[in-house]
Amino acid sequence: MGTLFARGLGAVLLSAVILATATVATPASAEMVINRGFGSSPDTLDPHLNFGAREGWIQDDMYEGLVASDAKAEIGPGAAEKWEVSDDGLTWTFHLRDGLKWSNGDPLVAQDFVNGVIRQLDPKTASPRAYYYYSTVKVAGAAEFNEAEGGDPKSVGISAPDEKTVVIKLLAPQPNMLYLMGSYHIPPLHTPSFEKVGGDFIKPENIVNNGPYMMKENVPQSHVTLVKNPNYWDAANVKADKVVYHVTEDDQTELKRFKAGELHVTNEVPSDQLEQLKKEYGEQLRITTYVEAQYLSFNITKAPFDDIRVRKALAYAIDRDVLQNKILKAGYQPNCGYSPPNDPRYPQPHVEECDMPKEERIAKAKALLQEAGFGPDKPLKVTIDSTTDNTAKRQAEGVALMWKQIGVDAKVNAQEFQAWMDTFYNGGWEVLNDNLVADMPGPESHVVYMQPSAESGYNWKNDDYEAAMEKASQQSDIAERYKYLAEAEKILLDYYLTVPLNVTTSRHLVSPKLKGWEDNMLDVHPSKYMWIEG
Amino acid sequence: MLAFSIRRIIGAIPTLFVLIAISFFVMRLAPGGPFSANRKLTEAIIANLNKAYHLDEPVWMQFGRYLWGLLHFDFGPSMKYRDFSVTELIVHGFPVSLEVGFWAMILATVVGIALGIAGALRRNGATDFSAGAIAMIGIAIPTFVIGPLLQIFFGLKLGWLPVAGWDGSLNAKILPIVVLALPNIAYISRLTRGSMIETLRTNYVRTARAKGIGARRVIWKQALTGAMLPVVAYLGPATAITVTGSVIVEQIFGIPGIGRYFVEGAANRDYPLVMGVTILYGGIVILANIVTDVARGIIDPKVSYE
């Protein structure tokens, strides 16, 4: 009995030891998982339809373009190992790496990249991003092909002369071409899966892709799970086995999940708690200037906003520092130009009131209003149309407050996003609380956007602006190009079609366990460069 | 009873049709469309999108196309979540909402009835007051306050349960079920208490007591059955609401259910998605009402199926 008991005890102890070793051994062999907060559920992960920057994170992990962003959002070789551009800046030739494969082992060839662009441009695809190949970057024949069904794909200026070469022909030089081709902007198409299942090729059970990761699960409103792609050319340097993008619609919950260690990085940080979180988290809170500018736009087709004195007076009344640092407190930077100032090579023009002392600004604003026929007995009435987004609304209310100080009867009309858009297109608005996110660093996305050809909603046509933009688009030298872009931006600012307010920030909480994360202004963070330690 | 149920189900078809027609046309009165999301879209691209989703056709033709699809159980594509059809979104999301909602209703019914009976039997005593207090808290404090509080306490302070997320584990389900159950516990306990007190005063209960039937038996067999009538009437619609998900609870706890699609679908003008969830919700409400009527017939001998 005694021995039996001892033997039993021995067995229990032994199994306990085995169990203990097993538990100790698990972490070493456990897979490395990165948990990333994603905000609301992705709209689409179809690489040729996607328009969203957040969806772009997943896309950067799943697809590799001809060139690709590194952790600092700098563009370098991707599927192409080298490239050259012709002297006139119109022909770009990309040379693919040797032995590239799709995730299922199929060879990845130059024609796959051509097919990707053609699918995006095909009117039947109805891709909201098709414009991409005929706005800032102007691929020959792209606009015509997109605008009418039944066009010949060969008429588009992208071709694959052999299995390893992609040639892109442009209508105008574009020195920022690599930024526009970078990352998820030019994903290849796995033609056999597309022919078999159509748009359903993006479903986890069908997916064949060429990036560092493959999709394993896509559960709407819950998560997207990616696993390492063994057929990726640089798989040896991909550290994490798995990346999970968690849908985190509520930023307060996301913050709590980060605190509980369920997330390594958040998509957002509640903007009204920045100061407190800075104290609590120090280095883990990352606030980085983003390529988005916020500004007010005037409806120049509507009196009295057709009068430049009225527009100027309203612009003069705004104190950008007070608005950003005392009212908004979201970490945004005041901006005196239309485009976000993030390229030191660009001589950004400023609105004149930026350098004026407050008293002078206010005095001039009042004088201008009086000249335009407004005064205490006949106050100017203004409505600012804003979205219901908390920060946007607060900003509009701050502006309205400043306008009240010069005797303007200002109010804010906050509407949900789609209704706000409708107001803009129907032309019923007076002042729009407006914003634009750039596709690349530098001023060009913004300045191009204000060309009437790119955006009709502002009803603005200016020959000098068009002329400067036309000149800019012919320059392949970046300094020359910037000179004309600055000229155009100056015309825009002097016209007071818009009033610059700020440049926004991207905000994340990054766990000290997550290594390889680099803050950058494009807010691009390929998982390929990240790993977990500790 | 079977004939009654079948009659009611057939009778529900015109109701559903009216619901579909009204939702379809009213939704299109709202300003903005599904693709006004990015101002950068050129007219050619918007035209391509409208064509792909048949939005360039007259509304009556779109309605016909939609009805035709419905007959084939096709709810159409989601315009916002372009990787999924509405059917796929519902197939993914509804079981989750149903699971959370079902357990929340079970919890609410059991706890609510128990609290209600306890309150009714020990009227104005300590039990009654504390049950009343719990009920008032459940009704007065909204879920978007109680949810985050429970997250902080059980997720962050104690670390017993995950803050949010849906990994299929039991732990992840506990908080959302409790939060969803709380307001229902409150209503059910108040209803049970009130109706129980009333029933205990009725003639048939007094007669039963006078005949010498024990207190316990009177309460559980006679009084409770009668007292359940208003509770059953409440349970029908409440279950329909709860199993189709709550947008607040789903967002706070990151639950991939369908509750958010009512709000999000409407905000994004995702017409097929809103239609899909409206039809589902309408169907469940109709079904819940039929079940309630059948249940009332079983409990209440005065109700006839004719």
Query: Mean pLDDT throughout A468-482?
Result: 92
DSSP state of A215: E
Find, among A75, A330, A306, the residue nearest to A183 by Cα: A75
Which pLDDT tens digit goes with each residue over A150-199?
A: 889 999 999 999 999 999 999 999 988 998 887 678 899 999 999 999 98
Lowest-confidence pick of A294-303, A358-367, B24-33, B75-84: B24-33
Find, among B150, B79, B270, B153, the residue nearest to A128 by Cα: B79
Q: Is the pLDDT of residue A376 over 70?
A: yes
Query: Mean pLDDT throughout B158-185?
Result: 89
Please compute, for residue B297, the number of CA atoms within 13 A of its CA located in the half-sphere on the CB side.
Answer: 13
Q: Domain count for chain B, please give it.
A: 1
| Cβ separation B156–A260 shorter than 8 A | yes
Contacts of A246 in chain B (CB under 8 A): 165, 254
Mutation target for B interface from A262, A418, A449: give the one with most B CBs within 10 A: A418
At residue B306, the pLDDT reads 58
Query: Which residues, numbered 231 to 250 in chain B, qualify as contacts with chain A under a Cβ-Cβ cut-off of 8 Å?
Result: 250
Query: Mean pLDDT throughout A93-113?
Result: 96
Please compute, for residue A481, the number of CA atoms within 13 A of its CA located in the half-sphere on the CB side.
Answer: 21
Q: Is residue B297 part of a domain?
A: no
Q: Which whole-number Å values give the CA distances from A221 to A40, A327, A349, B217, B247, in the listed order? A: 7, 34, 44, 49, 12
- Report the C-alpha gap between A419 and B33 in whole angstroms: 9
Q: A445 to chain B: nearest residue by CA?
A: B40
Amino acid, single-letter form, for residue B131: A
Q: What is the β-pairing status of strands A514-515 and A498-509?
A: unpaired
Read off the pLDDT band of A58 (50, 70, 90).
Answer: very high
Please compute, for residue B133, the number of CA atoms within 13 A of its CA located in the half-sphere on the CB side.
Answer: 7
- CB of B91 within 8 Å of a chain A CB? The answer is no
Per the listing, tokens 């000149």 go with A471
Q: Is the pLDDT of residue A100 over 50?
A: yes
Burial B179-206 (b: 16+ CB within 10 A, else e): bbbbbbbbbbbbbbbbbbbebbeeeebe
* Minimal Cβ distance to B151: which of A124, A253, A418: A253
Read off the pLDDT band of A25 (50, 70, 90).
Answer: very low
Lowest-confidence pick of A78-87, A175-184, A216-225: A175-184
Q: Is residue B39 part of a domain?
A: no
Residue count (chain A): 534
Lowest-confidence pick of A210-219, B26-35, B249-258: B26-35
Read off the pLDDT band of B35 (50, 70, 90).
Answer: low
Question: Quick check: A218 and A203 in contact, CB under 8 A?
Answer: yes
Question: Quick check: A20 and A5 in contact, CB under 8 A?
Answer: no
- Report the C-alpha gap between A32 and A530 in whole angstroms: 11
Q: Give Cα A302 to chain centroid, integer Å.
A: 32
At residue A456, the pLDDT reads 66
Contacts of A262 in chain B (CB under 8 A): 162-165
Contacts of A219 in chain B (CB under 8 A): 92, 256
Q: A35 to chain B: nearest residue by CA?
A: B165
Q: Give Cα B102 to chain centroid, integer Å.
A: 9
Question: Quick check: A165 and A112 in contact, CB under 8 A?
Answer: no
Q: Is residue B116 part of a domain?
A: yes
Which pLDDT tens digit goes with each residue over B47-75?
A: 877 887 888 888 888 888 888 888 888 88
Q: How many CB pairs under 8 A join A and B?
A: 150
Q: Is the pLDDT of residue A330 over 90?
A: no
Q: Is the pLDDT of residue A9 over 60?
A: no
| Encoded tokens for B202 | 């009725």
CATH code assigned at B157: 1.10.3720.10
- B240 lies in which domain range? 96-260
Read off the pLDDT band of A10 (50, 70, 90).
Answer: very low
Which pLDDT tens digit goes with each residue over B71-118?
A: 888 888 888 888 899 999 999 999 999 999 999 999 999 999 998 888
* Surface-to-core class of residue A290, CB atoms within 10 Å of its CB (0-12 exposed, 13-18 middle, 19+ buried): buried
Q: What is the pTM of this model?
A: 0.86
At residue A24, the pLDDT reads 41
At residue A72, the pLDDT reads 92
Q: Is residue B4 part of a domain?
A: no
For A201-312, strand residue ranges (E) read 213-219, 223-228, 242-246, 285-298
HEC secondary structure over chain B: CHHHHHHHHHHHHHHHHHHHHHHHHHHCCCCCCCCCCCCCCCHHHHHHHHHHCCCCCCHHHHHHHHHHHHHCCCCCECCCCCCCEHHHHHHHHHHHHHHHHHHHHHHHHHHHHHHHHHHHHCCCCHHHHHHHHHHHHHHHCCHHHHHHHHHHHHHHHCCCCCCCCCCCCHHHHHHHHHHHHHHHHHHHHHHHHHHHHHHHCCHHHHHHHHCCCCHHHHHHHHHHHHHHHHHHHHHHHHHHHHHCCCHHHHHHHCCCCCHHHHHHHHHCCCHHHHHHHHHHHHHHHHHHHHHHHHHHHHHCCCCCCC
Q: Is the peptide bond before A344 cis (omega within 30 degrees of 0)?
A: no
Residue B163 to chain A, least CA–CA distance (Å): 6
At residue A27, the pLDDT reads 45
HEC secondary structure over A488-507: HHHHHHHHCCEEEEEEEEEE
At residue A464, the pLDDT reads 93
Contacts of B92 in chain A (CB under 8 A): 219-221
Amino acid, single-letter form, for residue B30: A
Average pLDDT, chain B: 86
Read off the pLDDT band of B128 (50, 70, 90).
Answer: confident
Read off the pLDDT band of A16 (50, 70, 90).
Answer: very low
Residue A129 to chain B, least CA–CA distance (Å): 8
At residue B37, the pLDDT reads 53
Backbone φ and ψ for A240, nearest 5 degrees, come out as -80, 140
| Cβ separation A126–B162 shorter than 8 A | no
Contacts of A247 in chain B (CB under 8 A): 254, 256
Q: Is residue B304 part of a domain?
A: no
Work out the widest C-alpha separation in chain B, in whole angstroms: 85
Question: What 3-state class would DSSP assign to A381?
Answer: strand
Q: Provide the β-strand partners of residue A242.
A: A33, A227
Q: Is residue B75 part of a domain?
A: no
Q: Is the pLDDT of residue A355 over 70?
A: yes
Q: Is residue B166 part of a domain?
A: yes
Query: Which residues, numbered 42 to 61 in chain B, qualify as contacts with chain A under a Cβ-Cβ cut-off of 8 Å?
Result: 42-45, 48-49, 51-53
Contacts of B265 in chain A (CB under 8 A): none
Work out the widest C-alpha separation in chain A, in whole angstroms: 110
Residue A57 to chain B, least CA–CA distance (Å): 17
Residue B86 to chain A, least CA–CA distance (Å): 11
Query: Mean pLDDT throughout A205-215?
Result: 95
Residue A418 to chain B, least CA–CA distance (Å): 5
- Report the C-alpha gap between A509 and A277 in whole angstroms: 9
| Encoded tokens for B213 | 């039937």
Residue B24 to chain A, least CA–CA distance (Å): 18
Backbone φ and ψ for A89, nearest 5 degrees, come out as 75, 10
Question: What 3-state class would DSSP assign to A445?
Answer: helix
Q: Is residue B220 part of a domain?
A: yes
| Cβ separation B82–A43 shorter than 8 A | yes
- CB of B126 within 8 Å of a chain A CB? The answer is no
